Structure 1
Amino acid sequence: MSDLDRRSLLRGVAAAAGGVALGGPFLGFVNRDAASAARPRRPLVDDVADLRDGQVRLHVPAGFRYRSFHDTESPITLDDGTALPGRHDGMGAFRGRDGDVVLVRNHEINGPGAAFGPRTPYDPMARGGTTTVHTTRYGEVKRAYTSVNGTMMNCSGGRMPWGSWVTCEETVNGPDVGPDFTNVSNIPLTQPHGYVFEVPVKGEASGEPLTAAGRFTHEAVAWDPHSGYLYLTEDSFEFPSGFFRYKPRRDPMRLGHLDNKGRLQMLAVRKRPNIHLEGEQRRGATYDVKWVDIDDPAPRFPYTPGETAPTSNDDATVYVPRQGWEQGAAYFSRLEGAVYDDGVIYFTSTQGGGEPETEIGPHPTGGYGNGSGQIWAYYPKHEVLRVVYQSPGPDTLDFPDNVTTSPRGTLVVCEDNTNDNYLRGLTRHGDLFDIALNRLTSSTGTTRYNDEFAGSTFSPDGRTLFVNIQASAGMTFAIWGDWRGIGV
């Protein structure tokens, strides 16, 4: 970064800290005093019925409408015979025919078991994957089918501008790794997991992992068309998480897909080795960064088929990030959602912003991180990292997870906590406000207010927000209304 650029950015940050919104290519959001709680731009109303069946499942702004679909509280069979699994998670929206929308949707399912769907699975004993749904912008499903299967813990991912979805495995399970937190044996698995997979909207997915992009607890990805890097978040619950980037050897905008011959790197802060960024940050905190190489991104551990692997899940989890830590890579807390917008990569740190950790792990109960959440911005052109929002407590923003941007640049943030879960909006001027509130009730009358939102994504025309409920009885919502009128 040149001295002129650095001075310009720091002036913008200083002005932002004072609450003054300045223009410019690297200001992003203004990080105002985070002590004020989120409020709806338009009051959320409690009597708007789901157009699917007349039940009230969400509180939304006055004048908005919504429809749910693919509710797996009851069995659903897709057009190709797939018994639709639950755990709807990350999702991307693409342009379909005649104004329709094509959704590619993750299913975050853990544990060995028979793969769903009729496609040839990557691992016949892994139960996760993606389904593809063709729908109107009002959530009326036309057809749906399996697009990738035989994967595990498909958490989030990212939409690629050449017409594909990258789905991410949030696990390092495999026959070569011991049991994870569920204490279920991995012996039945036939393939290592912990990779990303590309799912084209048109044509068939290869079903093969992008191993060069690393084997770790992946969460989300975002593509920067200018630098040519794929940015990747890691959601390691017990240990520090890292922020990574992958540079394919060939340009996917020309090739039409990501190649598997690139280089994986991990973020470090210049002159601050192993800085604890999971701790509380000063308002507008800004860091110059560098990137360190990961020389062994896709390890396979020794094991005897049919026997418990000698490599523990903890050791496998930290194998890739430890290569970065040994070179000074930064510590974050549970990096989850990521999205590219106007030259900036935004990503969430779900438990960041509290007292910094003194040990790098494991933290098996509360997880690594003591805060209610942070939102970070990375500026690839200038290799600068900045905190743009830090929650002062769970009543304001509680555990930010998946994230997307509206056509006007507002961040839409999914909450994942154990109380009421909201969809929140965060404007470029640092204003946090409510978009929707989960008010699900099961068929037996049990409230499901703590089921998390996930997979927020706008239709290509920006008129409909699609979002999932990530639960065993998952479902997808289409929400529409006057987005501009509420500042989204």
Structure 2
Amino acid sequence: MTVNTLNRRGFLAAVAGTGGAMLVPGTLGATLLSLSACGSAEQPKLGPGLKPDPNGIVDLPEGFTYKVISMAGEIMSDGLEVPEYHDGMGAFEGPDGETILVRNHEMPLFFPKDPPSPVPDMAYDPASAGGTTTIWLDGDLNVLKHHLSLTGTIRNCSGGITPWGTWVSCEEAGYDGWEMGKRHGYAFEVDPMNPLMRIEPIKAMGRFNHEAIAVDGSGVVYETEDNTEGCFYRYIPRTGGRLMEGGTLQALAFTNGRKHTTDEPLEPGRAYACDWVTIDEPDPDENTVAEDAQTKGAAIFVRGEGIVTAPDGIYFSCTSGGRESLGQIFKYIPGSTPDEGGQVMLVFEATVAGALEMPDNIVMSPWGDLIICEDCDQDSQRLVGLTPDGRLYHIAGTTISEWAGACFSADGRTLFANIQKDPGRTIAIRGPWQSLRA
């Protein structure tokens, strides 16, 4: 099975035919410096404007279309309702060319109407209704089947795909998550090819306020933590591709002793040497993983959220980091071996509200740009593209709720994303992608 493999050759050929110019992936960290320290006078111009949607759902650039693939409350193939709170999502290629989406549901806690799991016999915790759903689509974006694939978890915010073809769904347990009857705050591995199964947590990956994960070519898993005093983690499995068999959880520390990436700002574009400290107890009784890591010298990253693997490193967002609390994007460059600490670089910091702020989920596009889901205070939430040479462009906007779960189909034609709630919707967007960067 091919996992979100992007058809770059075909896309670049199509762009070349229109006279456009594309930059290959792998140069983001070296070329986004103009954004990192910009003031209002230097803020790069945004790309093409968005045309208002007469249906009031998704505003798009000229020539683009969208389709609502799935909406909360609809009845799935298994007879269950589509849950609310659509969040992180991954795209996979099926055995016959289908697109398979695995979608998180960030079900909140302790509201009077919160239901238990709809399938308690298959639930990790029968008292919890969070989890994932799986959608199979044909080439025309018709739903072939749609079913629950993980249940009994809480606040499944984001996660990430693995090179071996699975989706890791992460619980953003929050503070209330430590008051549940059963332990929460874990990562769970979901196979997109399987029906609903009872899945156990990967406890060695840590028990904390998980957000998202990305896996590098060596099989090391990088993890973000949505916590104002959180850390940036990596999990080194004992056996590559077998996360349940245990491993080592570590947190990033700067070799120069820097303890906070907002209070002690990084110079944009400069690579800082780092090391990793080992977490002695990855599955504590209380929410102490970050605190314990910081006593060993680990640095604070303010509300780590989206993360993605790229040819030149691991990019991750800090939604409210930076001197204006509007968000940052970092790049981690691994060492040649796990024993080498690597380097960290600040490649973007939002300083002016309204251009790009509060970056959440991120994904690398087939043409080498970061595609960013905003979770901001503006009237319209947007999907924003960020080019290697520091230009921003709008892909979509909505006034309904935040965007989440952006991912591309295997052929690169379709961008999928979620409008989180009121009600939650999964959207498929198609159009002349090259026109956005003309």
Do these two structures clear the TM 0.5 threshold for a shared fold by scoring above it?
yes
Local SS of the residue matching 2:394: strand
Q: Deviations over 1:76-111 (max 9, x none)?
A: 111112221110000000002543210000000122
1:267: which partner in 2?
A: 252
Q: Structure 1: where are the runs of 5+ without partners?
A: 1-20, 50-54, 179-185, 301-315, 355-369, 440-447
Whether the aligned pair in 2 keeps the contact of 1:137 and 1:459 (CA below 8 Å) is no
Where do residues 388-407 of structure 1 align in structure 2 (5 Å cutoff)? 388-407=347-366
Whether the aligned pair in 2 keeps the contact of 1:82 and 1:117 (CA below 8 Å) is no
1:334: which partner in 2?
A: 303
Distance 1:221 1:138 in 2: 30
1:299 pairs, out of 272, 281, 284, with: 284
Residues 328 and 27 of structure 1: CA distance in aligned 2, closer, same or farther (over 3 Å): same
Q: Structure 2: where are the runs of 5+ without partners?
A: 1-22, 337-341
Local SS of the residue matching 1:207: coil
Whether the aligned pair in 2 keeps the contact of 1:278 and 1:351 (CA below 8 Å) is no
Distance 1:458 1:26 in 2: 19
How far does residue 258 in structure 1 lie from its aligned partner after superposition? 2.0
Residues 153 and 472 of structure 1: CA distance in aligned 2, closer, same or farther (over 3 Å): farther
1:233 maps onto 2:230 in alignment: no
Paired amino acid for 1:432:
L
How far does residue 455 in structure 1 lie from its aligned partner after superposition? 0.3
Q: Deviations over 1:387-417 (max 9, x none)?
A: 1111112222121100001112100000001
1:57: which partner in 2?
A: 57
1:108: which partner in 2?
A: 106
Where do residues 192-341 of structure 1 align in structure 2 (5 Å cutoff)? 192-203=183-194, 205-226=197-218, 228-236=219-227, 239-252=228-241, 257-277=242-262, 280-300=265-285, 316-317=286-287, 319-341=288-310
Paired amino acid for 1:425:
G
Look at both structures and tell me which one has the larger radius of gyration over its CA atoms: 1
Paired amino acid for 1:217:
N
Higher deviation after alignment, 374-383 or 193-202: 374-383
Paired amino acid for 2:269:
G
Q: Deviations over 1:261-299 (max 9, x none)?
A: 100000000021423446554332431100000010001
TM-score by length of 2: 0.86
1:42 maps onto 2:48 in alignment: yes
Paired amino acid for 1:229:
V
Matched residues, percent identical?
38
2:329: which partner in 1?
A: 375
Local SS of the residue matching 1:58: coil
How far does residue 172 in structure 1 lie from its aligned partner after superposition? 5.5
Q: Deviations over 1:351-396 (max 9, x none)?
A: 1111xxxxxxxxxxxxxxx510101101113611001111112222
1:133: which partner in 2?
A: 135
How far does residue 339 in structure 1 lie from its aligned partner after superposition? 0.4
Residues 435 and 295 of structure 1: CA distance in aligned 2, closer, same or farther (over 3 Å): same
Distance 1:291 1:277 in 2: 19
Whether the aligned pair in 2 keeps the contact of 1:41 and 1:433 (CA below 8 Å) is yes
Paired amino acid for 2:171:
E
How far does residue 141 in structure 1 lie from its aligned partner after superposition? 1.7
- How many residues were matched structurally? 401
Q: Deviations over 1:440-469 (max 9, x none)?
A: xxxxxxxx3xx1000000011111000001
Higher deviation after alignment, 117-126 or 398-407: 117-126
Local SS of the residue matching 2:34: coil
Distance 2:370 2:118 in 1: 33
Residues 115 and 381 of structure 1: CA distance in aligned 2, closer, same or farther (over 3 Å): same
Over aligned residue pairs, what C-alpha RMSD do you find?
A: 2.4
1:434 pairs, out of 387, 394, 400, with: 394
How far does residue 437 in structure 1 lie from its aligned partner after superposition? 1.1
Whether the aligned pair in 1 keeps the contact of 2:185 and 2:208 (CA below 8 Å) is yes
